[in-house]
Structure formats: structure tokens, C-alpha cells
Structure 1
Amino acid sequence: MTTPTSARSITWARRRSTLARFWRDFRSHNTAIAGLAILAVFALIAIFAPLLADPDGLNVAKATAKGHQPPSADYWLGTDQNGLSILTLLVHGTRVSLIVGLSATAIAIVIGTLVGIMAGFYGGWARSLLMGFTDWFLVIPFLPLAIVLATVLGASLVNIIIVIGVTSWPGTARLVCAQTLSVRSRPYMERAKALGAGDWHQMTRHVLPNVMPVVVAHVVLTVSIAILSETTLSFLGLGDPTQQSWGNILDSAYGTGAMSNGEWWFVLPPGICVVLVVLAFTLVGRALEVVLNPRLKEG
């Protein structure tokens, strides 16, 4: 009766040891800790956005200030063309931009992981078909394809998430397929097959856990690409006009001539936010690649 409990305790002890070793290696990268701190700040801003900035400040009908005001004691980052506080728009735009980035990344990772594992595991005609479909997406330039899809589906937050998600998975599929081919050739896969393990068991119990470290590192880098994509589409006027995001703020600044009029408070803050978040995700992602990939760690 004590054997299952003992085996379970050994398993959890190994997991705790692995996590402790992972955190020790991760925190040795100062740039990764800096990126993690930046992401924590933006995550807190997104979570507590309604408390940090009154949602009524997004309502044009309730705006009382003049448009295009420079920064002042009442409006720390000035106002936009409608008299809305730029700071309020930035705070609430943080939530929208992060939601789009994380949601679109989740879609891309799920699709890319499924396609990559199936292509690498089955091989043959299945790999040729799936990788050919993946290459078709890779050949088509991302931005024109995203613009076409966003135009066809319409301007809404959900559609933007779908557009970015379904156009961002090919890189993940390629990466997971290569890793799956490596895992499939290992001896324990032959033993599992000889013991009667089915395809689903092999893919979920043996292949997926071994490709997850690569997927996790790739997820963090994909989020930054998704946020940049949302900013680009919104700047081009294809974002959801009812939701404030950093891209929408930049689009409004460009449309009202803020750049040519020297209204730096309308242009720099959202641009800096985009740069900081993308840089933070990139720093964390690069560190994860080194920690989770023994070859890079040795180098």
C-alpha cells in the first residue's frame, strides 16, 4: 500500500528539484530578470487598469478637457484629439494589447504544436502534406495575408486575435516537427511501441513532454510578435475601433497629424510601451532558450 505513495513522492521530489534547478539557471541571466520585472509591471497595470484609471475616461461624451493639450498637472501625458487623457488610454490599452498577444499566441501554439507533432510522428506522406501546407503559409508574406484576413473578417478584437493566431503558427510547427523527429528515434519510443502503446499514448506521454521545453521558449517569443502584429494592424486602421490599444492610439496620433505638429506626448508613450513589452518578452524568451536547451547552455 505504501508503494504508490512512495513513487508519487519521488516523482514530486524530482519535479521540485527540476523547478529549483530551472529557476537557479534562469535567474543567473540578469537581462531575463529585468525583462521579467518589466512584464510584471505591465501585467499589474493590465489587471488593475479599472482601479488605476477610471473607465469613464474612455468615453468621448464625458470628456471635459480640450483636445491636443500638452502634459500638465491634471493630464500627465496630455490629451488626444477628443480631450481624453493619454495616460488613461495607455493604461486600458495595456490590457487589450496583452490580451490580444497572449490569446493569439495560444491559438498559434496549439495549431503549430499539433501540426508539428503529427508531421514528425507519422512521417511519410503525412509529413509531406502537413509541412507542404506549413511552407505555403511561410512563403506568403505575413502582413499582406493578415491584412486580407482582417479585411474579410471585419474589425473586431476577436477577429484580430484569430487573424494573428492563424498566421503565426508555421514557425512553431517547423520547430516542433524537427524536435519530434529527434524524439521518435530514441530507444524508449521503440520500447513503448513494443509494449503495445498506441499512437495517442506515444504522442501525449512521450513526444509532447519532450517538445514542451522548446514550445515554452518559443511561446514567449511569439507573444512579442503577436503584440507587434496587433499594433501594426491597428495602426493601419484594421483594429477594433471600440477598444483602446497601443496600436489604436498610434493610429489616432497619425490620423490627427500629431507627428507633424510635434505632439510627442501622443506618439512616444504608446511607442515606448510597445518597445518595452516586446523587449521584455524577447529577453525572457532568449534566456528560456538557453536554460531549456542544453546545447545552447554548453555554448
Structure 2
Amino acid sequence: MSAPAMDGPTADAPKRRVSPRQLARRRRAASLRRNWAEFRTHRSGVVGLVVLGAIIAIALLAPLIAPAEGLEVTKATGGVLEPPSWEYPLGTDENGRSILTLLIWGARVSLLVGIVATVISMVIGTLVGIMSGFFEGWPARLLFRLTEWFLVLPFLLLAIVVASVLPRSLFNIALVIGVTSWAGTALLIRSQTLSIKERPYLERARALGAGRWHQMTRHVLPNVMPMVFANTTLTVAIAILAETTLSFLGLGDPTAVSWGSMLQSAFDVGAMTTGAWWYIVPPGLCVLTVVLSFTLVGQALEEIFNPRLKKR
């Protein structure tokens, strides 16, 4: 009797092997889908994400929504502190410019400074936190004492002192906020690093001859990144508040319009005493909305990535 014929040409073909990179990509994709599904269960986080998406879209489309000519004082067509009307839905400032136009373009500056400052803060905080938690001896103690020193100093006071020394520009404001606000992130990442350093897979890596750089970049950093990402959204809110405060105190870029500079200009012209509430309330509400949205998203992400909060 002859052997039965096999159906199809793939019967004798060897099974296709999956490379480690493909396996890692599949795991990351599955983790992202799982985290997104869990994030959607947090209604407050979803609301905050939708509001942030709308504000970011308005900031990116500012040239199409409100032409940049509306920012020029010489081309202003409105009256001085004119109340809201059909032509100017949110009124005008002391130069006759539309408050709505200033708000739309101010969103660009406030978000840009907040995001750049947060990136600087996250990079410094993550590096210091990993090194102070992973290394031993006097380097770790020195980095930890430096972190404690920055935690003890009042963040806003230190930012004001440094900002008053540097030239006034958007990058310098972002640099000041980032350099003075990394200590909290460093302390969080240090505690995570100390926990990861004692796990079995890191002991196996050391037994196989892995160096410190390999352990930090291949094992410690990927495991602390979820906490870094969750903490980033919370830090953006703090950075935007700091930018608003520095601009309100006159330490921001005088050539750029931000929500903080709008509040500072409204204070200078006495908008509250003259009853021009439309000059103060809109930028204040914008700052409050963005900070609250980032906080809601950050709290949802922190609950997803923090195992202790998951158990609660």
C-alpha cells in the first residue's frame, strides 16, 4: 500500500521561527492594547485626554483659526478693553486685540514651554534616579543628597531666582523649570530602581557577566519607563503652572503671548478694578482646564502602571 498523499505544499515545511525582536514587538503591542483597554475604563482620564486633544488641535491649527496678524498691535481694529460682542466674542485687550486670538496663540506658547520643560525634567530625574539607585558607595550618596537638596529648596522660589539671572526667552524659561523640578521624579525612579535591582532576572544578568551599563539600559530603564511616562503627565501640569507664574511676574519672554503674559498684562492695566473680567477669566480658565486635564490623565496612567494602586 502506498502512503497517503499530504495535502498542500506546507505539510513538510518547517515551522516559522519568531525572532526575539518580533516577539518583543508583539509583547509591546499586546501590552499597549491591554493598557489602552484599561485606560478607557477610567472615565475621568478619558475626559481629560479628549479635552487635551482638543486644546492641542486648536494650538496646532492656530494659523488657520486666527491669523497671526491679530497679534500685532499696529493692526488691531478693536477698542480699548472692549467687552464681548459678535465681532469680538471674548472682548479686546488694552491694545484693541481680540482676546480669543491671544488665547489661541497663547496655548501654543504655554503648551510648548510646559512640554519642553517636562522633557528636560524627566531626562534629568530619570538619569539621576537610576544612577543613585543602581550604584553604591559615595556616588550614590552624593546623587541622593543632591536630590534631597533640590527637594528641600522651594521650587518656585528657585525658578524665580534662576529666571531673573538668565536672558528672557522661551527656551530659558523651559530650561529653568526643567532644571528646578526634576527632584521628585528622581526620588520616584530611585525607589523603583532599588526594587528592580534585587529581582532574580537582574541577578541572572550579573551572573552571566552583564556590565552595569547593560543592566541599566536593558533591564532597569525599560521597567521604570511606565512610571516615568505616568509621572510625565503630572509634571506637565506643574510646568504649565510654573510658566504662567513666571510670565505673570514679568520673567517670561516679552515678545511671546502666553496665558501667563495675558494675566500679567491684565493686572498691569487694572482689568479687575475697571470691570474688564473678560481679560482675566478666559486665560485663567484655560490654565485651569489644561492643568486639570493633565492631572486626570496622569492619575489614570499612574493607577494603571502602579501595581500598588491596582491592588487597591
Fold-level similarity (TM above 0.5): yes
Amino acid at match of 1:294: P
What displacement does 1:7 show? 4.1
- Which of 202, 209, 217 is the matching residue for 2:215? 202
What displacement does 1:4 show? 5.7
Aligned length: 299
Number of the residue aligned with 1:119? 132
Number of the residue aligned with 2:40? 27
Number of the residue aligned with 1:10? 23
- Which of 287, 292, 301 is the matching residue for 1:288? 301
Number of the residue aligned with 1:261? 274
- Counterpart CA distance in 1 for 2:214 and 2:178 is 27
Q: Confirm or deny that 1:48 pairs with 2:61.
A: yes
- Which of 227, 230, 235 is the matching residue for 1:217? 230
- Counterpart CA distance in 2 for 1:108 and 1:3 is 45
What displacement does 1:158 show? 1.1
Number of the residue aligned with 1:98? 111
- Counterpart CA distance in 1 for 2:186 and 2:20 is 35
Q: 1:3 to 1:188 in 2, by over 3 A?
A: farther
SS at match of 1:81: coil
Which residues of 2 match residues 96-175 of structure 1 at below 5 A?
96-175=109-188
Q: Confirm or deny that 1:242 pairs with 2:255.
A: yes
Number of the residue aligned with 1:272? 285
SS at match of 2:80: coil
Amino acid at match of 1:209: P
Q: 1:255 to 1:62 in 2, by over 3 A?
A: same
Amino acid at match of 1:288: L
- Counterpart CA distance in 2 for 1:163 and 1:36 is 27
Amino acid at match of 2:191: A
- Which of 188, 191, 195 is the matching residue for 1:182? 195
Q: More deviation in 61-70 or 111-120?
A: 61-70
- Which segments of 5 or more consecutive residues in structure 1 lack a partner in the other structure? none
Amino acid at match of 1:160: I
SS at match of 2:278: helix
Number of the residue aligned with 2:243? 230
- Counterpart CA distance in 1 for 2:123 and 2:19 is 35
- Counterpart CA distance in 2 for 1:174 and 1:37 is 31
| Percent identity between the two aligned chains | 60
Q: 1:149 to 1:7 in 2, by over 3 A?
A: closer
Q: Confirm or deny that 1:77 pairs with 2:125.
A: no
Amino acid at match of 2:151: L
- Counterpart CA distance in 1 for 2:279 and 2:178 is 29
Structure label with greater radius of gyration: 2
1:237-270 CA deviation, whole Å, 9 max, x = no partner?
Answer: 1111100000000000000000111111100000
Number of the residue aligned with 1:193? 206
Amino acid at match of 2:64: L
Higher percent of residues as helix = 1
- Which of 53, 65, 74 is the matching residue for 1:61? 74
- Counterpart CA distance in 1 for 2:22 and 2:123 is 31
- Counterpart CA distance in 2 for 1:96 and 1:15 is 33
Using the size of structure 1 for normalisation, the TM-score is 0.97
- Counterpart CA distance in 1 for 2:147 and 2:57 is 37
What displacement does 1:6 show? 4.7
Amino acid at match of 1:228: L
Using the size of structure 2 for normalisation, the TM-score is 0.93
